[in-house]
Amino acid sequence: MNRTVLDLWVGLFVVAGIAALLFLALKVGSMNTVNASDSYEVVARFENIGGLKARAPVKSAGVVVGRVDSIQFDTQFYEAKVTMRIDKRYPFPKDTSAAILTSGLLGEQYIGLAAGGDSVMLKSGDTLKITQDAVVLENLIGQFLYGKAQEGSTQ
Amino acid sequence: MLKRALENLGNRTIQGVWRMGFATRFLLAVLMHSGTAFRRFGLTIREMYFTGVLSLIIILVSGLFVGMVLGLQGYETLQTYGSEEALGILVALSLVRELGPVVAALLFASRAGSAITAEIGLMKATEQLSAMEMMAVDPIARVVAPRFWAGVISMPLLAALFSAMGVLGGYLVGVQLIGVDEGSFWAQMQSAVDFEQDVLNGVIKSVVFGVAITAIALFEGYDAPPTAEGVSGATTRTVVTSSLAVLALDFVLTAFMFRGLN
């Protein structure tokens, strides 16, 4: 069996196809899942997570430092238990606080970390003590109306 | 009159079920006799030239144009909400998840599938397949299986090339022509498109479409009545059936893959 021009064309076709796949994998998409090996796990409990979803980014000072791994409902405290994976390159103090924030007016929700001043760093499996829930629009409007009504009655 | 209609209906149903069973047995036979297609890989490479390489031009050009149209239309719509930067996400996700595999498969069915059916149907009509059997050469192993594997290998490569060209087309129109910011075009695209959930699922889709199209094309050719009319009818049926199969399979696969996402 000899090599033919046909083989060259098919070879070129296969190489081009694989190059297109690599282009889709590296340039169009990104393997943005944080590996288990170079990250540590932190748990935070919220009374209301709003529209937070698994794989949402965890940001600190606007920089993505990790991702939300899983969201569970804790029947012991009737709270949401959010597990997130944070990149090992970014150690955080033990008294770091977590808040659920929204990017833009209608954007996706993410977890914002604000570093504290403790000298002890977070270890894998630690729980964040200070958390701030997601803002629920209905509650906000309810509070506003309630405040207005009170204002009216005192006058 | 009514009796005739009923008889006709029953006859058609029985014929349909008969053909279905024969098609299943045919596909199994192709899989069983695939050894030659890999042992003598030259045969498969030859067929990949005809089904894959010769389909390249239509796939690349249509991919580019589909991407360019997506860029234009997407920009028009996104602009009203002031989020032109999301153009990259729109172009990339619609191509990688849906348009790439599906449109490439439809083009592949009409470009390569019809050619396969016509070739095998004509080989049968001119009794080349019977001649092979007389020489103790199994036509399924020698003729059908290499074409099957060539189609199955070519289809995902073609779909990936289609998506890549489409993204390039969207980039050309969105960034170079209209002036969406280049950095946010790529950055937003990368943060929204996931390799496993989007790119890999698209590849799985195109493999399934490749199997469906080549199996239908080969069977229609093999089952075609050995006349000029029979071959032309079989070619038409290949394009119609495989296009419908691609669209139906796409719905099923999408329901499996993207349910529960977001």
Nearest beta carbon to residue B45 from set A10, A24, A53:
A10
Residues of A in contact with B191 (CB under 8 A): 30, 32
pLDDT for B134: 92
Model pTM? 0.77
> Average pLDDT for residues A73-94, to the nearest whole number?
90
| Position B4 in a domain | no
Tokens of A45: 């409990």
Residue A1 pLDDT > 60:
no
Q: Are A82 and A109 in contact (CB under 8 A)?
A: no
pLDDT-wise least confident of A42-51, A105-114, B199-208: A105-114
Q: How far is CA B83 from CA A57, B173, B181, in A?
A: 20, 16, 11
What pLDDT sits at residue B207? Answer: 96
Q: What number is the average pLDDT over the span A128-150?
A: 86
pLDDT for B42: 86
Angle separating helix axes B114-125 and B201-223, nearest 10 degrees: 20
Among A3, A5, A10, A12, most B C-beta atoms within 10 A, so best to mutate, is: A10
Are A85 and A36 in contact, with CB atoms under 8 Å apart? yes
Nearest CA of chain B to the CA of A22: how many Å?
Answer: 9
DSSP letter for A78, please: T
Domain boundaries, chain A: 1-31, 39-141
State which amino acid sits at residue B3. Answer: K
Residue at B206 is within a domain: yes
- Confidence check: pLDDT of A84 > 70: yes
Number of domains in chain B: 1
Per-residue pLDDT of chain B (262 residues; tens, 9 = 90+): 889 999 999 999 999 899 889 999 999 999 998 888 888 888 899 999 999 999 999 999 999 999 999 999 999 998 888 788 889 889 999 999 999 999 999 999 999 999 999 999 999 999 999 999 999 988 898 899 999 999 999 999 999 999 999 999 999 999 999 988 888 888 788 878 888 788 999 999 999 999 999 999 999 999 999 999 999 999 999 999 999 999 999 999 998 887 755 4
pLDDT at B27: 92
Which range has the top average pLDDT, A24-28, A128-132, B40-44, B53-57?
B53-57
User: Cβ separation of A18 and B157 shorter than 8 Å?
Assistant: yes
- CA pseudo-torsion sign B209, B215, B218, B221: negative
Neighbouring C-beta atoms of residue B141, cutoff 10 Å = 21
Residue B45 placed within a domain: yes
Asked if A61 and A112 touch (Cβ cutoff 8 Å), the reply is no
Q: Give me the domain span that covers residue B206.
A: 14-255
Query: Which two structure tokens, joined as six digits, stand for B128?
Result: 């080349």
Please give the span between the terminal C-alpha atoms of chain A, in angstroms, as a whole number.
100
pLDDT of residue B262: 47
With CA atoms as reference, the chain B residue closest to A18 would be: B157
Reading the block at residue B32, the tokens are: 């069983």
Does A20 contact B52 at a Cβ distance shorter than 8 Å? no
Enter the ipTM: 0.80
In a domain, B71, yes or no: yes
Instruction: Identify the pLDDT of residue B239.
Output: 96
Within a domain: residue B210?
Answer: yes
Q: Is the pLDDT of residue A105 over 80?
A: no
Among B2, B99, B154, which residue's Cα sits nearest to residue A16? B154
pLDDT for the residue numbered A34: 56
The pLDDT assigned to A32 comes to 53
> What pLDDT does B256 receive?
86
Mean pLDDT of chain A: 84
Contacts of B164 in chain A (CB under 8 A): 19-20, 23-24, 28
The Cα angle at residue A147 between residues A141 and A150, in degrees rounded to 5: 140
Among candidates B158, B167, B195 on the partner chain, residue whose Cβ is nearest the Cβ of A31: B195
